[in-house]
Amino acid sequence: MNKKILTLMIAFVMIESLAGWAGPPKNGIEQDHVIGSRIRQIKWGWNWAFVDQDFSIRNRATQKQFGFFNEAVIEQDGRGSIRNTALQIQKGWFNDAKIEQDSSRRGHSKTYGNFAKQVQKGNKNDAEIEQVKGHRNSAIQTQWGDRNDAEIDQEGGRRTRSSHNRATQTQWGDRNRADIDQEGSRNRATQFQKGYRNRANIDQEGNGNKASQLQDGYKNKAYINQDGNGNVAKQTQDGDRNEARIIQGKDHKKHGRGPVRGGRGHEMTFANCALQMQIGRHNEATIVQSGAFNHAMQFQMGCGNDSLIVQKGCGNTAITVQKGHNQDAKIFQDGRHNYAKIVQTQHHLPPETICQRGNGGWVEIINGAEYIR
């Protein structure tokens, strides 16, 4: 009996002492003003590595960490960051990785031709890449595990617009989140997620941009917001109970409500293209476009799916194709000379909904063997 009491007392003292313990001291490595750097930390955790390369041209940095609660930072941000390369690899849980390739100088300094890559394997890791005020930069993030976060920021500066940048994110696991933010023209963003309850978001502001999202699993969410002209958005989801949404047009953060008339004091977006494909059951697809001469197309295969297209402006085209039972499709268009079409391979009662407001519109509904014009 006395031994049991003594054991409990010792355990209680150990718990009390660990309650305010922040973990063992981190094994830190800091390198400033270096051109080339290679850091490899193989201890079981609490490692810290910081590399500052402010010579800005043709620098190389590599960091590898293993274990838990690690932190890795690479800064390549001189007066202009040009053709630098950064690589970070982390294996374990609760790790943080960050790469900064931008200009630390105000004004017209730019970043150009940089390459950043992050690879993480484990759960609850965070990865972040910043390539601000740049052209022809590339960022790649790959994560294996659950509850991970990945973020790529390729925005322009106050006086500098970004262009021709590439961002790619790949996540394997569940409950992960991926975000890409691009500002400028002719940028490309690609996201792939495999698992369930994942979320992918792409935000692009500018002209001639392309965004692509592919999700394999169930209960996933995919969002694309584009503000500008001549943009292309594509979403593909394979699985059940997924949600996909594309918003294109001015003031997309207000869900498409904004100036689209093109008159004095108003900006109008035009010639955007949105494509959505879903394979599975009980999925939701939404496209919202404001402006003129836009194209929206949805394809759903399965049963119990819902689709919605909302267009505000003139000369727009909306097409929805559904294959399977118990499908629901709606198209709303506000403007002149718009075209709307719904195709359903199996007969549904009542026929699906198309609402047009304006002159010169054209409507087609194919509901099973029945053709309504």
216 assigned to some structural domain: yes
331 assigned to some structural domain: yes
7 assigned to some structural domain: no
17 assigned to some structural domain: no
Q: Which residues contact 2 (CB under 8 A, 6 or more apart)?
A: none
Number of domains within the chain:
2
Say whether both 162 and 45 belong to one domain.
Answer: yes
Say whether both 132 and 216 belong to one domain.
Answer: no
Say whether both 68 and 155 belong to one domain.
Answer: yes
Cα 212 to Cα 202: distance, rounded to the nearest angstrom: 9
18 assigned to some structural domain: no
pLDDT at 69: 94
Where does a domain end: 150, 169, 194? 194
CB atoms within 10 A of CB 226: 30
Where does a domain end: 145, 172, 194? 194
Residue 4: pLDDT band with limits 50, 70, 90: low
pLDDT at 55: 67
Say whether both 155 and 114 belong to one domain.
Answer: yes
237 assigned to some structural domain: yes
DSSP state of 56: -
Say whether both 287 and 187 belong to one domain.
Answer: no
pLDDT at 7: 59
Say whether both 279 and 214 belong to one domain.
Answer: yes
Say whether both 265 and 174 belong to one domain.
Answer: no
- Listing DSSP states for 171-229 in one string gives EESSS-EEEEEEEEES-EEEEEEESSS-EEEEEEESSS-EEEEEEESSS-EEEEEEESS
pLDDT at 13: 45
pLDDT tens digits, 86-141: 999 999 999 999 999 986 555 455 678 999 999 999 999 999 999 988 899 999 99
Say whether both 209 and 189 belong to one domain.
Answer: no
Among 20-24, 35-39, 197-201, 280-284, which stretch is predicted with the lowest mean pLDDT? Answer: 20-24
Provide the domain limits for residue 355: 205-373
Say whether both 98 and 190 belong to one domain.
Answer: yes
Residue 304: pLDDT band with limits 50, 70, 90: very high
pLDDT at 106: 55
Say whether both 343 and 274 belong to one domain.
Answer: yes
Say whether both 176 and 217 belong to one domain.
Answer: no
Among 3-12, 168-177, 255-264, which stretch is predicted with the lowest mean pLDDT? Answer: 255-264
pLDDT tens digits, 28-71: 777 766 667 777 777 777 889 999 887 668 889 999 999 999 99
CA 320, 219, 210, 255 torsion: positive or negative? Answer: positive
Say whether both 73 and 109 belong to one domain.
Answer: yes
20 assigned to some structural domain: no
pLDDT tops 60 at residue 160: yes
How much is the pTM?
Answer: 0.87
pLDDT tens digits, 313-363: 999 999 999 999 889 999 999 999 999 999 988 766 555 788 999 898 899
> What average pLDDT is seen over the chain?
85
Where does a domain end: 194, 229, 252? 194
- 113 closest CA partner among 172, 165, 182: 165
